[in-house]
């Protein structure tokens, strides 16, 4: 009798552990992203210990800033059941326009004002997206494909196509401003730029909006079911305008940081990065259908994509093959992520066959 009871208790404990793991995957889907990220880092470090050198880690941090800002904006819209592909056009429009404005008319404008004006420009373009999505009542993907061409076409037709190689001094100085510096074994000075702080600050603000405000509750409610959210009293117009305005602000911020970091302004920059950004958000646990996802998962998804790209550069894969490798990995990782979620769902819900 005592043996039987021990076996029952052991079985119950095993079921409890299984349930806990399944519940963890359902409630915290970013655990899959974190596992993949750690696995890749461990494997690469075993093959090439140089991967953990400070220079590599700082390069990863630097490369994550612009993509991370884009991803946070995409995630907020995705959480509400929408999707935006115009953020790179907004970033290009604001960064190039502000560079021309400062260089030609306002050479002494403080960098803080330059950044704020770029963000306000992004908000204005984002609000256009939000109003069109709400009043036309068509999928946001269609609207933002249209505005992507509209914004970029206006930029190239009326503002300029010249590659600006010499930035205004305050913009160049901001891109070079160090957060901290370390000296490598070969004597080279490795710098983590000050603008890196923008990403954790933006992530913190986004987390606060989504988890501590009524607007955050409205965003997830609209992502769950827009009709029900409307019946509950949430203003869909206000939500749409806020969503795309906020994403536009982050795009404008990302654009000006991109210019300062690269110390040049190219109106053709950032084209084609949309897929990587959206993939990072989805791999971070957000569903295309909306209503789910976390800021932490989004940042982990960004790190995953950046690490993959860094590894490909380290092993010397030609640039013409990098897109193929990244695309294949994204498909495999996304399939793994979705399969794990589907397998865990029945055991969590407690349904019997």
Mean pLDDT value across residues 290-306: 90
Residue 196 is predicted with a pLDDT of 95
Phi, psi of 179 (to 5 degrees): -85, -45
Q: What is the pLDDT of residue 344?
A: 53
Pair of tokens at residue 25: 């995957």
pLDDT, position 347:
44
* High-pLDDT (> 90) share of the chain, %: 57
Nearest alpha-carbon partner for 298 in 25, 30, 24, 26: 30
pLDDT of residue 183: 77
Percent of the chain past pLDDT 70, that is, above it, reads 83
* Chain segment 308-348, per-residue pLDDT in tens: 888 887 777 776 676 787 677 667 666 765 665 566 554 43
- The pTM (predicted TM-score) of the whole model is 0.88
What three-state secondary structure class fits 254? helix
Position 327 scores a pLDDT of 73
Q: What is the mean pLDDT of residues 179-196?
A: 83
Confidence of residue 168 (pLDDT cuts 50, 70, 90): very high
pLDDT, average across residues 51-74: 91
d(CA 13, CA 221): 36
Query: In terms of pLDDT, which residue wins out, 342 or 124?
Result: 124
Least confident of 49-58, 84-93, 115-124: 49-58
DSSP at 291: S
Give pLDDT, residue 85: 95
Confidence of residue 13 (pLDDT cuts 50, 70, 90): very low
Of the two residues 217 and 286, the one the predictor is more confident about is 217
pLDDT at 109: 95
Residues 6+ apart with CB under 8 A from 83: 74, 77, 139, 140, 141, 144, 278, 288
* Euclidean distance between CA atoms 267 and 155, whole angstroms: 8
Compute the mean pLDDT over every residue in the chain, rounded to the nearest whole number: 85
How far from each other are the two terminal CA atoms of the chain, in whole angstroms? 31
Q: Is the pLDDT of residue 274 over 60?
A: yes
pLDDT over 80 at 66, yes or no? yes
Q: Count CA within 13 A, CB hemisphere, residue 64.
A: 28
Mean pLDDT throughout 264-281? 90
């Amino acid at each position: 009798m005592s043996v039987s009871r021990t076996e029952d208790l052991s079985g119950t404990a095993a079921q409890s552990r299984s349930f806990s793991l399944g519940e963890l995957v359902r409630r915290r889907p970013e655990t899959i992203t974190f596992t993949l990220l750690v696995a890749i880092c461990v494997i690469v470090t075993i093959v090439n210990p140089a991967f953990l050198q400070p220079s590599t880690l700082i390069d990863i941090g630097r490369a994550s800033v612009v993509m991370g800002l884009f991803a946070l904006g995409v995630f907020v819209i995705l959480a509400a059941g929408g999707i935006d592909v115009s953020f790179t056009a907004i970033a290009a429009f604001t960064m190039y326009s502000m560079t021309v404005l400062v260089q030609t008319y306002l050479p002494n404008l403080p960098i803080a004002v330059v950044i704020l004006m770029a963000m306000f420009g992004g908000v204005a373009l984002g609000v256009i997206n939000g109003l069109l999505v709400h009043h036309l009542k068509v999928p946001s993907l269609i609207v933002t494909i249209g505005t992507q061409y509209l914004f970029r076409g206006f930029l190239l037709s009326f503002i300029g196509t010249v590659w600006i190689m010499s930035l205004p001094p305050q913009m160049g100085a901001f891109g070079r401003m160090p957060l901290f510096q370390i000296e490598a074994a070969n004597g080279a000075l490795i710098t983590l730029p000050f603008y890196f702080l923008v990403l954790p600050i933006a992530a913190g603000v986004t987390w606060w909006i989504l988890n501590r405000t009524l607007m955050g509750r409205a965003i997830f409610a609209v992502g769950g079911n827009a009709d029900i959210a409307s019946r509950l009293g949430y203003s869909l117009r206000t939500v749409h305008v806020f969503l795309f305005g906020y994403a536009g602000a982050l795009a404008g911020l990302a654009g000006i940081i991109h210019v300062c970091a690269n110390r040049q302004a190219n109106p053709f920059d950032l084209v084609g990065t949309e897929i990587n950004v959206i993939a990072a958000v989805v791999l971070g646990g957000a569903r295309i259908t909306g209503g789910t996802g976390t800021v932490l998962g989004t940042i982990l998804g960004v790190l995953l994509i950046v690490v993959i790209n860094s590894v490909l550069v380290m092993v010397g894969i030609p640039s013409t093959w990098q897109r193929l490798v990244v695309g294949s990995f994204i498909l495999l990782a996304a399939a793994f992520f979705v399969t794990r979620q589907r397998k865990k769902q029945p055991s969590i819900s407690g349904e019997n066959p």
